[in-house]
Amino acid sequence: MSNSVAHALKAVLADSYALRLKTQNYHWNVEGPNFRALHVMFEEQYNELAAAIDEIAERIRALGERIEATPSAFSKKTNIKDGDHTLDESGMVKDLFESNVKIVETLKTALKAAEEVEDEFSVDMMIGRIGVHEKAAWMLRSSLPDAVRSKAAKAADY
Ligand SMILES: [Fe+2]
């Protein structure tokens, strides 16, 4: 077992927590003609993240590390920027799309760390998380207006 894997998983945990909060922020604050569909999709996504966060944190404990589970510790470790509750609905969807693409980078770093020490369980977990966030990115991108969609996908190199 390896601290390098636990370290990489802590970055995944911090990103997942930040993304969960941003998704819930937008669940609460979204307004516009697609309110119902987006409100429901965001809820599905933050509920999925809540369950995953517990699994990731418990994997870190199984690897022998403690977790500094405080807002300030998480905010130092995450690459996900805070949400902006004043955005319009397509601004929120675009931000969540970009954040789901971003977390895949963190997951791939953790995947490599786990592969290096043949930690198959963490490898499997990271592959599963990559699939979840790539699917979320697709759903969010597909919810964007045409003009925003192609630009956002190009900018995220997606
Ligand atoms: Fe709700």
* CATH number of domain containing 57: 1.20.1260.10
The pLDDT, as a whole number, for residue 150 is 84
The pLDDT, as a whole number, for residue 157 is 76
Question: Using DSSP, how many helices (H) and how many strands (E) does the chain show?
Answer: 6, 0
pLDDT in tens, 95-147: 999 999 999 999 999 999 999 999 999 999 999 999 999 999 999 999 998 88
Domain count for the chain: 1
The pLDDT, as a whole number, for residue 1 is 53
pLDDT in tens, 30-88: 999 999 999 999 999 999 999 999 999 999 999 999 999 999 999 999 999 999 999 99
Distance 30 CA to ligand 1 centre (A): 11
Distance 150 CA to ligand 1 centre (A): 30
Distance 120 CA to ligand 1 centre (A): 36
Taking the C-alpha atoms of residue 76 and residue 36, their distance in angstroms, rounded to an integer, is 34
The pLDDT, as a whole number, for residue 156 is 81
Q: Which domain holds residue 34?
A: 3-155
Distance 67 CA to ligand 1 centre (A): 28
Distance 50 CA to ligand 1 centre (A): 14
The pLDDT, as a whole number, for residue 2 is 62
Distance from CA of residue 112 to its chain's centroid?
A: 18
The pLDDT, as a whole number, for residue 16 is 98
